[in-house]
Each structure stands twice: as C-alpha cells, then as structure tokens.
Structure 1
C-alpha cells in the first residue's frame, strides 16, 4: 500500500513543471522532446532547436539549459539516456555525454497540456454522428456473434476497436462541450449579442444533441442487453486471436512482468462503462440522465439571464465589465493616482472622516478591545452610500387640522363642564345636605377636597378629659381653582358628619366640615358651614 502511494505521489510530481515560476521555459523544452519519437537529445541539440523559437529560452546558455533539464529529470518528465556514446574526440564526447529522452508520463502530460492551451476557451463541437455509427457497429457485432459458427476473430476485433474509438471520441466531445456550457452559465454579464448567441446555441444545438441521444440511447441499451450474455466468450475469442502486449512473459508471481494498458474494448470493465453510459445499471443514473439534467439547468440559467436583462433597464445589472475596467486603471496607474482612483470609486476615505458618537450613558474604559466592546449603530445611509444626506424627496407635512379641531372642541367641552360644575357648587354652597349634586360637580368637589387635605397641616391638641388621649386638628386645609373662581376650606370637628348627595351615590365625611366660597368673597362661617346629617 505504501509503495502504491509513493508511486502515485511520484506520478503527480510530474505535473510540477506546469506550476513552477519557469513554466513557460519548461514547456518549451518539453515541446522539443515531444516533437521526436524515441530520440535522445543532448544539451547542444536542444539549444539548436530552441534557438528558432520565440521566448526567453532562445537566449539560454548551456549551463542554464542543463539546470532546467536536470530539474525535469527530478520531476520524472525526462529520463537520462542510456545509449552508448561514440565519440571521435574529447570535445565531441563532452558535447554528447549528457543526453536525455522523454518519459512516457512526461509525454502524456505535455500532450494534455498542449491540448488544454490550444482549445481551453473554445466550444468543442459534439460529434453526434458517431453515436449512429456506434449503434450500427454494435448491431453488426451482435449479428456476427449470433451467426452459426460464431464471429470471425479478426472482423470482430476490428468492430470492437472501431466501436470504442467512436464512442470515446463522442463521450469526450460531450464532456468538453458541457464543460464549456457550464463556463458560460456561470457568467452573469452577458450582453444582448452574447445572450442571443447563447440562446441559439442552447435552444438549437443542445436540443438537437439531447434529442439525438435520447432517441438512440434506448436502442443502444437494448442491443447491449442482447449482446451481454455472449461478451465473455467474445472477449476470450479476441484474446486467443491477438493478445498484444498482454501475451508477454510472466513474472515469478504469475503476473505480467510489465504493466500493460490494453486497448479499449478488450476488458469487461470497458463494456460495463459503455453500458452504464446509456442505461442505469447501478442505481445511480446513467450518463444520458445526467445529460438531460444538465440541459435543464442550462435552460434555467438562460431564463435567469433573461430576467437579469429585463431588470437591467432599471439599473439592476452586472458591473463585471466596469470592475474589470477599474482594475485595469488601477493596474496602470501610479501609486498616488491609484489611491485617488480607489477613493473616487469606493468612497473609502480615512477613518477620521467618519465619526459616530456612542450612547451618552455608556462609559467604555480605554483598555476595552474593539472586538468585545459595545457596538455603535451606523445609519443606513452612511453604511450603504457613505453619506449622511437623506435621499429622495422631502415628505409632505401631514395636515393635523381636523385632529386639532377635535382636540380643541373636546377641551372646550371639558372646560364648559367644569365651569358648570363650579357654578353648581357655588349655587349650592351652604345647603349641600338639601340638594343632589351632579356627577361632574361631585368630581370637582372631590378634586378640591383631595388637594385641600394634601395641603393640610396636622396639629396635636391636648385632650380636655384626662381619661381620653390627645387629638388632632387640621390647619390651613384649603384649595382653590383660580380659573373657576372657587375656594374650598376643610376643618376638623369631632363628632361632625358631612353627607354629600349625588347622582352617583352619597358620600359621608366623618369629623370634617367643608366651606366653599368664591375667590374674593367673605362669607360668615355659620352661613357656609355644611350641616351634619
């Protein structure tokens, strides 16, 4: 297990030259070696081939190139040549002693890298016609296997190889095209022309691909189900006819001494992958189902872009192009101008220009960390726009005239009711035991009584009878209502009982006598004293 992990790590190390700082130089060297077949090159040979190329590698000396070649050997992309050097002189031997050849892993990685660099951003066409050829080839292969005497080995081998070459090309083109489609779907800055092209691409091209695959997938799956029982005997027939590199010598453990990657279609796993592309064999869905789901997501993204373009008329659109232009300005500007551009674009002024007072009753010690300290509420206008100014039109002042008139009317009615109650109390002064007060008059009288008792001063008096305890008398117990012009005086008289009759009931005041007069009037006490009932 450890050996397998080490081998995997070594193979992944071969990709290191693509991310190294000198990656363009390493790629130029690898392209020189990939342009040869089973050839070993010395440093002078590589220098000669690089001299005609553009780039910094064309100006290298032998020492720099030797360092780059040795580094590629450490990563596993190149191998030191083991060929015998025949030299007629010492100078020729020194020229040819360090020779290098391309490793299998290095050649494959460089080939994939060149393919990515050549067409990474291009939309690859889907070879949908290959699907019809795959269906025809499988049907003809099924007829060969079902005929009396079985299939002829060479013809069956040619059919299998052709089927898998066509299917591999078709599947790769599908994956590349939908990868490009996903890259387009991730963009939210499509303008009208790009959106129109995307719509035609999706509605016409993708729909044609999906319909073709949906039409042929069940037929291919049916042919594979019919052919499946004969597959073991067919693969045995092909192995007996042509084993290829798998017929090499075996090691001590009974396995091949050399690891062999067989041609597509010669292993049962290849057929299982082909069958799983068109039919759900493991309960995880087929590639055809995934194709339909990807097409549905693409349609949803198309609708999302359409909604975005409709909203763009109101200003709600992507600012990607504007941000890219701003980034270009910042990249090309001097440091001083870059600061000015950033301030103008984002409004990021110095912190001293933003001051928000904290809550007045909150005392924060100087050693309190900003991380754990109290938060200051930032106004929305300042947080979102960097300005304290209020936006929009000033709101119209609400008209409260009707409410004011209602309140004034209510206040006048209450004042009239209090004046009427005061007149009633003045008219009934001295004969409260003989009349029945209205509810407003009694409320006003009780209000004056409560104020008078609140203003009263209690004075302790010595009792005349030694057997009885001393009592209390009320002094300065009076209240007045200047606006109504009435004054109420209260006196404490032992044994007295003042009864007030009203529509709300009778009120008895024990040991109290009340006198009510108008302000400025002097009425004898015997005329204003309320009789006890």
Structure 2
C-alpha cells in the first residue's frame, strides 16, 4: 500500500462512517485485494476455520489465481496491511487478536503477530455481496418441473387436511416439511420466471449486440417458451383447482402445524409470540400462492400474466429474426421514411408549412404548362375511356410539329385562361366531408367500450360491417396460427383493435343485411388510441 492509498482510504472512511462501514472497502483504491482477502476468510470459515494468520491468508491468495495477472501477484506485506486495514474499527470487517501461540524467544514478544477472524458485520456484508454477484450472474429459468412439484406437494397437504378432518393422526414433521418445500419451490418458480422474462426482453431489445448468437439459439428459445406455456396452461389450472378445494380453516390448520414446530425452538418466554408471528407469516405466504395461480375479479393471476407475456415474446422474437434477415439482405423499406416524414408534419406549426412540405416531398403540383390541341380533346370526348383502356386503343395525342422540331411551342395570340375549378373542388370537399362523417359514424358504432365477444355484436349496417370486417381481418392476420392475441391499429392511427382467441370457442354468427358471418368466437376490444378518437 502506498501513501496515496492510505489517503484515499481515509476519505472513504469519512464518507462511509456508520453501520455500513463494512462496505467501505469496495470504493477504496485496493478494493480488489480487500475483496480477495475477504473471500479467503469467508471460504475458510465455511470449512470451520475460525482464525487465520497473515501468512496463511497469503498462501491462500497465491493459490486462488486472482481475477487478473496483476491481482495474482501480491506481496506478503500487502496482505498483512490489507488485513490490518480491514480490522480497523472504521470498517470493522475483521476482528484482530494477539497471537502468542508461536512465541519461542523474548524478541518474539516485540513482533506484531495477529490472528484475524470475520466479524458479524463483515460476514453479513460478504454474504450480501455474494448474493449480489449471484443475482447478476443468473438468467433465470421457466421451471416446468417446479409446477409438477407444486402439484405433488399440494396433493399431500390436501390429503393431510382430509385426514385431520376425519380424526386420523397426521405426521406433523412431514406436513411441516411439505410446507417448507412448497414455499421454496414456489419462490424459486416466481423469482426465476421474473429473471428469465427480463433476460428475454433484453435479448429482444439488444439483439443487434450479438446477431450471430441471437440467431443461433432463437429456435431453442422459442421452443422453450412454447413448452413452458403449454405446461403452465395445464398444470396451472390444476394447481388453481387444488387451491380452491382447500378451505380457509384448513390453511389455518396447516399454518398452525408449521408455527408450532418452528416455535418449539424459540427462546424461553418468546414461544407464544413466535407462534403467532410464524402462523401469520405462513397464512400470508399461502395467500400469495393463491394470488399467483388464481384469478380474482379485480385482478388477473400472476400465472396468467406470465403466460401472456411468454406468448407475446414468441412473435416478438420472430419479428426480430425477420428484421435481422431483412437488414442482412439489404431490403429497402420505406416505412421508416414515411415515419420520419410524419414526424416532420407533426412538428410544423401551421397548415401552410405542411402544404409546402407536401409539395416538396411528393411534387404533386398543377401542370398548367401542359396542354393539348382541340382535336385531341374532341377525340377524348367522343369515346368512352377508362382506366383499363389499352394505350393502342386510345386516341393519339397530337403534338405540334414545331414542338417536335424545336422542343418548345409558343402559341401566338392571347394565352389560354386557366380553368376555374372552384366548383369542382367544393364538390370534392363536400364528398370527402360526407365520407368522413359516414366513416366516423361507422367507427362509433363498432366501438366496444371494453372487451366483448364477437357473438355479443348485434346487427351491423353495411358501412359499419365493412369497416368491422376489415379490422377483424387485419387482427386475425397479425395473430397468425400460433399466437393467442394481437393488437393492430387503423392506417390513420385513431383506432386500436385487440383480438384474443378463446380456447375451445363455440361458433358465433354476425347478422348483416347482406347475410350471416359465422366462425369461432373471439374476444375483441375496439377503442380509440390515446390522443385520438373515432371522429
């Protein structure tokens, strides 16, 4: 350790004074050495070695390898100074005791020989850091086996309640052990599911960080998600049914059995208090288990939310793969161009600016400089032309020989007047306003005011049914054959349509003036988007 290290350590000591002193070494200049020393002492304590000398710690550090080459190369003096620093009261990670067991001469009394032991605070801090490292390193998992174990344990507890109700003796030790195992398996299931779905979301959001690795395991990941969804759907329903079969007094009885066995080890005078606290804790944990698997009217169960989130992750992963393939193939997509243009329109302050941007972007300006001869206009009026008329059957466009020869044509005399199209524009505006009003009325008629089944829709007029059928087709196409839910928006972004498949849905029929539409029933929710509306 150098003088600079000592000064830095003193600054850290002032900043971290108090009950969190054992964490102070993490921000000290020699934090890596302190961390290795603490891990060595923690490892030796797990082998029931209470005290260690400085030379023993040094030998252990030489064999641990360190994080890097520079960490592995540490001197015995540096280890002794690190132990002494960790044992100072300002940090309090270690306890130091004078070592007189190896004194063989008078001069040995004048040498500083110490035995070092982990303090309670230092051990607690080290365990917290180990838990922190483990939490960062885990990716979680979707544990289908845990679901099966929960079914087995609930079956055992349900049989225990039945035996108790019939007056038969029960094995309290086995019941307590089943409750503890149920709590542990459920906690692992919930925590690992949260961690795994978080890692999946990070994989979706940061897929371009390692494209090859993502493409290599995406099929296994999708298969893994689908298998867990299937298991959660079947076993989750079984667990929910078993939890509903266990009465409240049976839950209290199980909690009292567990509380009585755990309170038996309580200190004298605290047994009754420990019994009440432990019983309430077990009842609360059982309530959390029910909330995870059973859906209530005011909220959906955690298992159902997890199943929906896992299902949504599958199409999201497929969309990422499709985007990666499109980027790798150099596919040109104008979607981003139109989105950028839409954002420019939204930021402009006035309609005049938007019109100028429109003309600049698309170049749709009047072509007053082009004109045809009177003979051409008469030929167009004499025949009925449509969009499907071939060019060879249409009257020819006659050009002036001067225009063909010189490329310019100046008509002598008074210039032709610009046609006044005010009446035509007013007619088109009136038609557009009428169509918009008709479409807005149709949109208001199909709003659901919350999720509802297709079979709940009454008879729809042709305009509303045409709009409804288009939205339903877009939602079904987005859902695909495997997904159970999909959300789409109209082209103007004003309506949001959420469609959810019903398992084993009965057939439904929609009555219209043009006929009857039949098919499997679905849950549909048609609502205005945030900030929009069915105008």
Question: What TM-score does the superposition give when structure 1 sets the normalisation length?
Answer: 0.49
Query: Which protein is richer in helix relative to its size?
Result: 2
Question: What TM-score does the superposition give when structure 2 sets the normalisation length?
Answer: 0.49
Q: Which of the pair has more CA radius of gyration?
A: 1
